[in-house]
Amino acid sequence: MPSNPSVLVYGAYGHTGRFVVSALRERGFMPILSGRDADKLNALAARHAGLEVRPASVDEAASLDRALTSAAAVINCAGPFASTAAPLIEAALRARIPYLDIAAEVEANIDTFAHFDARAREAGVAVVHAVAFYGGLGDLLATAAMGDWDSADEISIAYGLDSWLPTPGTLVAGQVSRQRRDGRRVVFANGKISYVTGPAPTAEWTFPAPLGTQPVIAEFTMADSVTIARHLKVPEIRSYMTAVAVKDLSAPGQEAPKASDESGRSSQTFVVEVVVRRGSERRTAAASGRDIYAFSAPLVVEALARVLGGDARAGGVFTAGEAFDAKDFLASLSPAHLSFALG
């Protein structure tokens, strides 16, 4: 890997994009700031001395090609990914450089695997998809918990959030995703993705400390249903979300996350627990940390470092759990960014 490689960050001025830019600089990369809005890019560049600005639009392939000139890789932070992922992957394939994103939209996840895996393998380009809190962390935890098992009967993922103040990007992406599936919920059962209607079931989940027992919404639509099923042999994937977080997400007039320190992180905390069951045997993995959006930055930047360092397969579309040694990956983020434990 060259010293101080340049990495294009598309959507650099977005809420999570700004965290990604900072995380790249902390790891010794040279971010190139890109996105549609030149004024927002210039405002961000004013806070990061020495960074280049390259405005580009996903509607103009030539502008993406210019933006990717000399870049070692591209990280896509701009949702809705139903609109941005395909054009940027196409551009990465033309430039023959790795592509990573933080997509958590179920339909965009499915599309990327379906439309680009064969082409990325043929081009020898690594496309590491959904490397974010949703889609990426659960996949890594499930893979780490699975360990040496070649299959399991069931994987359950429980998200314990003490609150969920969504970003504008989350709200727009969620709306696009719901429209594409006609408002139905996504479940993974009997070895396949299914779409269901009606109220989601409720239950309780006893999380590791500090959350403890919490009311949860079951069958909560998550990108993990796509990423985990991509490479782990399991017929049932069950997703749970704390009821308080769902209430926040659906409340009218949602507020955006508020910074609580100089890094821009909010005070939101999370605990994610994965339970893998095979017959009467159970294996668990759990992670806890702070600010789901800020956490996506070190996650995707760690993935980038491993891709550029040769610690991933050369070509194809991969999830984080599929591309890397999941246990080692999670351990590398601890304790700076999360607490991680296997049980």
Q: In the chain, which segments carry CATH 3.40.50.720? A: 6-132+296-327
Say what the pLDDT of residue 135 is: 97
Give pLDDT, residue 255. 81
Euclidean distance between CA atoms 155 and 145, whole angstroms: 10
179 phi and psi angles, rounded to 5 deg: -65, -40
Q: Residue 5 class from Cβ within 10 Å (0-12 exposed, 13-18 middle, 19+ buried)?
A: middle
What is the pLDDT at residue 2?
55
90 to 5, 61, 64, 225, 289: CA distances (angstroms): 21, 9, 9, 25, 34
* CA–CA separation, 286 and 224 (whole Å): 15
Weakly modelled stretches of the chain, pLDDT under 70? 1-3
pLDDT at 253: 80
* Confidence at residue 210, expressed as pLDDT on a 0 to 100 scale: 85
Using alpha carbons only, give the angle 194, 200, 205 rounded to the nearest 5 degrees: 110
Per-residue pLDDT of 211-223, as tens digits, reads 999 999 999 999 9
pLDDT for 3 equals 62
- pLDDT value for 1: 56
Superfamily, domain 135-292+332-342: Dihydrodipicolinate Reductase; domain 2 (3.30.360.10)
CATH H superfamily, domain 6-132+296-327 = NAD(P)-binding Rossmann-like Domain (3.40.50.720)
Neighbours of 63 (CB within 10 A): 17
Range(s) of the chain covered by CATH 3.30.360.10: 135-292+332-342
| pTM check: above 0.95 | yes
